[in-house]
Amino acid sequence: MNIPLQEVEKILHLAPNPKPPSGLKERLVSKAPLSRSRAAAAPSLRQAVRESPRRWWPVVAPWLVSLACAAVFTLQQSELRDLRLAIETLSTRPQAQPAHDASPTPIDTQPSESSAGEQAEIERLRKLALELGSEVALLEQWRTDNQKLRQRLATPDISGLSTEEAESVGEAREKALSVACVNNLKQLGLAVRTWALDENDAQPPNLLCMSNELATPKVLVCPAETSRQTAPNWSAFTLANCSYEYLVTSGTNLPMTEPTRVQSRCPLHGHIGMCDGSVQANAAKNHPDWFFNRNGKLYFEPPPNNTGQ
């Protein structure tokens, strides 16, 4: 009986496909001895992997250090090579520069120009210093000459002058000292009035309280005074440093209504300062009979037909 091949294939395809019983795979795996050995060996492999770095690190560490040293050495060699090239380049530049710079550039001329300017400025300053030195020397000479002239004027008997000339010089000196004394008394009167304006017309009790109104205690010493010294400042001032007599020291108000009352007096020249701020020159010497003392107050009252000096 001859059956075609195609039919045979169909018959084979139609063969039954039996299913394996349940739990067959688990039973086979449990019975296999290889599976147990693998399960037992698994923890040892993991432990070996964990402990493996401790075993190979001592061997690998020297190689890593050698590689790092080699890398550093290579880097240093490259830097040294670059430095040599830079040094060679810089050393060859000055030799090649003159060939390219045929003519001087403005940069080369600038230092010479600046140095020339500095030299000119130095010369100018030197000449100026010489001129100033000569002027200072001239001023010093003038000051010395002025001091000599003052000493000669202060000397009663001036050598080289006649008696009439010496008397004229002495009179001029006395007049100048008298004028300076009058100015001092005027400043004292002005200080009294200024102090009174700030104190509700009250009279200054003494001279020391007017230290703010008077510029310096030298004003209180007559220029012709020879027995008293001027105080260097108000803290060192005493009555021994004052030539003038301050007469209006009592009362509460400034006696502006008494213009003929004497406020201050110079015993050397005889000048008197009035309460109205005026100064009568030489009044005590020329007109002693025009003074009157009433109630402890000194007044200077010229006759009606005289105006005083």
Cβ 62 vs Cβ 56: under 8 Å:
no
List, for residues 252-269, the tens digit of each pLDDT value.
455 556 888 898 999 999
Helix (H) / strand (E) containing 299: strand 297-300
Q: What share of the chain is helix, strand, coil (3-state, %, to 5)?
A: 60, 5, 30
3-state secondary structure 28-84: HHHHCHHHHHHHHHHHHHHHHHHHHHHHHHHHHHHHHHHHHHHHHHHHHHHHHHHHH
Interior/surface letters 104-114, b for 16+ CB within 10 angstroms, e for the rest: eeeeeeeeeee
Question: 42 vs 39, 197, 217, 281, CA distance in Å?
Answer: 5, 119, 118, 137
d(CA 308, CA 283): 8
DSSP 263: E
pTM over 0.75: no
Instruction: State the Cα–Cα distance between residues 136 and 288, nearest whole angstrom.
Output: 52
Residues 223-237: pLDDT tens digits?
A: 998 888 889 999 999
Cα 195 to Cα 204: distance, rounded to the nearest angstrom: 7
List pLDDT tens digits, range 105-136.
544 555 566 778 788 888 888 888 888 888 78
Report helix, strand or coil for 213.
Answer: coil
Question: In 10 A of CB 79, how many CB atoms?
Answer: 10
Per-residue pLDDT 10s for the chain (309 aa) are 566 777 767 776 665 666 777 777 788 778 766 545 555 555 555 565 565 555 666 767 777 878 888 888 788 778 878 878 878 777 665 554 444 444 545 445 555 667 787 888 888 888 888 888 887 887 788 778 777 777 766 665 555 667 777 788 888 888 899 999 999 999 998 888 888 888 887 778 888 888 888 888 999 999 998 888 889 999 999 989 999 999 876 554 555 568 888 989 999 999 999 888 889 998 988 899 999 998 888 899 988 876 554
Query: pLDDT per residue over 196-215, tens digit each?
Result: 888 887 778 888 888 888 88
* Cα separations in angstroms, 277 against 149, 192, 205, 223, 264: 35, 9, 17, 20, 10
